[in-house]
Amino acid sequence: MVPYIIRRLLIAIPVLFGVMVVNFIIINMAPGNPVDMYVDPNSSPELLEMRKEQLGLNDPLYIQFFHWLGNLAQGNLGYSFSTYEPVSKMIFERIGPTFELMGLALLAGLIIALPIGILSAVKQYSKLDYLATGTSFFGISIPHFFLGLGLIYIFAVQLQILPAGGMSTLGSEDNFLDKVQHLILPVIVLAVGISGQYVRYVRASLLEVLGQDYLRTARAKGLKEFVVTNKHALKNALIPIITIIGMEIPFLLGGAVITEQIFQWPGMGQLTIQSIMSRDYPTLMALNLLTAFMVLFANLLTDIVYSFVDPRIKYK
């Protein structure tokens, strides 16, 4: 197992390098440049040119890239073009809130989806099944901005029982209840979509397992249907679900761009939008690097977890 993990990590290095080269090219291909974004439009062309020179934007692209890479090798992600803060500090501040929001949303989504998905599969083609699959379709298709704004309108504007946005009320940052109140709406928005998807995954995966011969064996032993479904069938059905959850891990840190924007949630999604808008190259590069790393890491983690739940898989 350990040699396997080391091998996978070594393979990840060239992959990350490739991803970052492509990212760098695409970011630089986008029209506009950072200087136009921050500097007073009335300033003279000389001043603009001077700023560009200062930021190193006049160097050839590959020089810029290796410059970035050199800094990275020293653990330096650079400074934001727009806030002049260290990029690492900005990301560090944002990662916690995002992880909190996304983690809770995923957890809530799974807790809702699992029993519904199981029931829906066990009672395939029943009214309950149609209701569950129908509702899940609704959950998947409703846009986050629409649901988010709708919930804000009802609960924050009309009923005034929940805050419309932010992570906490000014002055009560340490109040747990206040924090929970701020979490409720954005978590609901995200959990609706997530549970909608997972109801379908769980249902499909369990249906595939329900016809298997080994369940007949389990029934032939005299086991209760509850044990047959929730022990024998479910453990098999969850194996593919684990992969899907694994692929979700990068989003846990990448944040939910639109939902964070709507609820003024100071997370990674919001940071991403801001840095795109302001052509903040160093921040964008760092965010992309983090995402690429998380994808690779999540894949590896999924494969490792897989070998624990599926005894047929062994890595050497």
Maximum C-alpha span of the chain: 86
Considering the rule CB under 8 A, would residue 214 count as an interface residue with other proteins?
yes
Give whichever of 71 and 212 is closer to other proteins, judged by the CB atom.
Answer: 212
Residue showing tokens 């704004």: 149
d(CA 187, CA 199): 17
Span from 19-27, 141-149, 230-238, 288-296 in contact with other proteins (CB under 8 A) = 230-238
Considering the rule CB under 8 A, would residue 133 count as an interface residue with other proteins?
no
Residues 270-309, one symbol each (x = binds other proteins by CB under 8 A, - = not), give ---------------------------------------x
Counting residues that bind other proteins (by CB under 8 A) gives 20
CB of 220 to other proteins, least distance (A): 5
On whether the CB atoms of residues 113 and 202 are closer than 8 A, the answer is yes
Considering the rule CB under 8 A, would residue 310 count as an interface residue with other proteins?
yes
The residue from 3, 60, 171, 311 that contacts other proteins (CB under 8 A) is 311
Considering the rule CB under 8 A, would residue 205 count as an interface residue with other proteins?
no
Considering the rule CB under 8 A, would residue 221 count as an interface residue with other proteins?
yes
Considering the rule CB under 8 A, would residue 223 count as an interface residue with other proteins?
yes
CB of 71 to other proteins, least distance (A): 47
Give whichever of 50 and 210 is closer to other proteins, judged by the CB atom.
Answer: 210
Give whichever of 126 and 169 is closer to other proteins, judged by the CB atom.
Answer: 126
Give whichever of 7 and 216 is closer to other proteins, judged by the CB atom.
Answer: 216
CB of 246 to other proteins, least distance (A): 18
The residue from 216, 230, 247, 277 that contacts other proteins (CB under 8 A) is 216
Residues 162-201, one symbol each (x = binds other proteins by CB under 8 A, - = not), give ----------------------------------------
Site for other proteins in 232-261 (CB under 8 A): 232, 235-236, 239
Cβ contacts of residue 33 below 8 Å, gap of 6+?
A: 52, 57, 279
Residue showing tokens 């957890």: 107
CB atoms within 10 A of CB 156: 16
Considering the rule CB under 8 A, would residue 224 count as an interface residue with other proteins?
yes
DSSP letter string, the chain: -HHHHHHHHHHHHHHHHHHHHHHHHHHHHSSS-HHHHHS-TTS-HHHHHHHHHHHTTTS-HHHHHHHHHHHHHTT---B-TTT-SBHHHHHHHHHHHHHHHHHHHHHHHHHHHHHHHHHHHHTTTSHHHHHHHHHHHHHHHS-HHHHHHHHIIIIIIIS--S-SSSSS-TT-TT-HHHHHHHHHHHHHHHHHHHHHHHHHHHHHHHHHHHT-HHHHHHHHTT--HHHIIIIIIHHHHHHHHHHHHHHHHHHHHH--HHHHHHTT--SHHHHHHHHHHTT-HHHHHHHHHHHHHHHHHHHHHHHHHHHHH-TT----
Give whichever of 46 and 213 is closer to other proteins, judged by the CB atom.
Answer: 213
Considering the rule CB under 8 A, would residue 222 count as an interface residue with other proteins?
yes
CB of 202 to other proteins, least distance (A): 16
Structure tokens at 41: 């439009």
The residue from 2, 42, 312, 316 that contacts other proteins (CB under 8 A) is 312
Binding site for other proteins (CB under 8 A): 212-214, 216-224, 232, 235-236, 239, 309-312
